[in-house]
């Protein structure tokens, strides 16, 4: 069965303490991997799309990387405002055909001042 | 650009009732997807609309139905509400199916 697994479930960091969040997937025909940030009670906010192994994207203190089996979201020198749940989603399926999007359960990040 | 807007933001319904949730996509987007997010879980795909037709559907019963209008806005209807339907319902819009989706703030549905 296709799966998207995020780890850890929760992460507590001191302000400035860099770390990485992991998203591992077992799907065939990957079309894209998405990272979102979600604040409590709000909809997910789009961060990155990665399409192929070896691809990297950066935005402020965040950097996303992709391999054939997993993606990492690296957070460099985090600030308290980076506290949120980070969701990973995988899109699979043939061009022009049924495409399935599967979300992981997220990593809840707390950054302590 | 107002982004993706959903209404209402909160809703309380009684078991067995019917509910309609609404979504206006981001300007320039023609595809609308609906998701259900239970507390502590990732969003679960319900269905996707494109050109006023349901193009894809997740593993949800027929009690969940939808509609897309010519202006690309969309509705999600849920009949015969169950307690387990209580969740955050998210609408996401995109330009066709191959691009990233942008989400609205969601509608919090509570079934009592």
Distance CA A111, CA A80 (A): 5
Do the chains contact at B42 and A31, CB–CB below 8 Å? no
Do the chains contact at B45 and A100, CB–CB below 8 Å? yes
pLDDT grade for A1, boundaries at 50, 70 and 90: low
- For residue A65, the model assigns a pLDDT of 98
Q: What is the pLDDT of residues B34-48, one digit of tens each?
A: 999 999 999 999 999
Q: What is the pLDDT of residues B14-30, one digit of tens each?
A: 999 999 999 999 999 99
* Chain B contact set for A99 (CB, 8 A): 56, 97-98
Q: How many CA atoms lie within 13 A of B36 on its CB side?
A: 19
Asked if A91 and A35 count as a contact pair (C-beta separation under 8 A), the reply is: no
Could you tell me which residues of chain A have a Cβ less than 8 Å from any Cβ in chain B?
4, 31-32, 34, 36, 41-46, 49, 87, 89, 95, 98-106
Q: How many CA atoms lie within 13 A of B40 on its CB side?
A: 2
User: Which residue of A lies nearest to B97 if distances are taken between CA atoms?
Assistant: A99
Q: What is the pLDDT of residues A42-77, one digit of tens each?
A: 999 999 999 999 999 999 999 999 998 999 999 999
Strand order in the sheet with B64-68: B5-7, B19-24, B74-78, B64-68
- For residues A99-108, give the mean pLDDT: 90
**CB contacts < 8 A (A, B):** 54
Residue of higher predicted confidence among B2 and B83: B83
Distance CA B70, CA B72 (A): 5
Distance CA B111, CA A92 (A): 33
Min CA distance, A67 vs chain B (Å)?
Answer: 19
Whether residue B1 lies within 8 A of chain A, CB to CB, comes out as no
**Considering only CA atoms, which of B64, B78, B68, B103 is closest in space to residue B20?**
B78
Do the chains contact at B103 and A44, CB–CB below 8 Å? yes
- Phi, psi angle pair for B21, to nearest 5°: -110, 150
Q: Which of B6, B90, B97 sits opposite A99 (nearest CB)?
A: B97
Distance CA A13, CA B48 (A): 37
- For residues A29-49, give the mean pLDDT: 93
Q: Is B4 helix (H, G, I), strand (E, B) or coil?
A: coil
* Chain A contact set for B39 (CB, 8 A): none
């Amino acid at each position: 069965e296709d799966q998207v697994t995020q780890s850890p479930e929760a992460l507590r960091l001191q302000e400035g303490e860099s770390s990485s969040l992991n998203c591992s997937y077992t799907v065939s025909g990957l079309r894209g991997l998405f990272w979102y940030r979600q604040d409590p009670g709000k909809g997910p906010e789009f961060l990155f799309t990665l399409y192929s192994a070896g691809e990297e994207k950066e935005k402020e203190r965040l950097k996303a990387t992709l391999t054939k089996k997993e993606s990492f979201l690296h957070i460099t020198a985090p600030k308290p405002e980076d506290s949120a749940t980070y969701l990973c989603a995988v899109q699979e399926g043939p061009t022009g055909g049924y495409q399935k999007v599967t979300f992981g359960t997220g990593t809840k990040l707390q950054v302590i001042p | 650009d107002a982004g993706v807007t959903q209404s209402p933001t909160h809703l309380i319904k009684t078991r067995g009732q019917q509910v309609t949730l609404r979504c206006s996509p981001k300007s320039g987007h023609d595809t609308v997807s609906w998701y259900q997010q239970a507390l502590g879980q990732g969003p679960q795909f319900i269905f996707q609309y494109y050109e006023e037709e349901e193009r894809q559907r997740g593993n949800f019963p027929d009690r969940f139905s939808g509609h897309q209008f010519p202006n690309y806005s969309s509705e999600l209807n849920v009949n015969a509400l169950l307690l387990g339907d209580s969740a955050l319902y998210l609408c996401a819009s995109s330009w066709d199916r191959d691009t990233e989706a942008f989400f609205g703030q969601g509608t919090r549905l509570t079934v009592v």
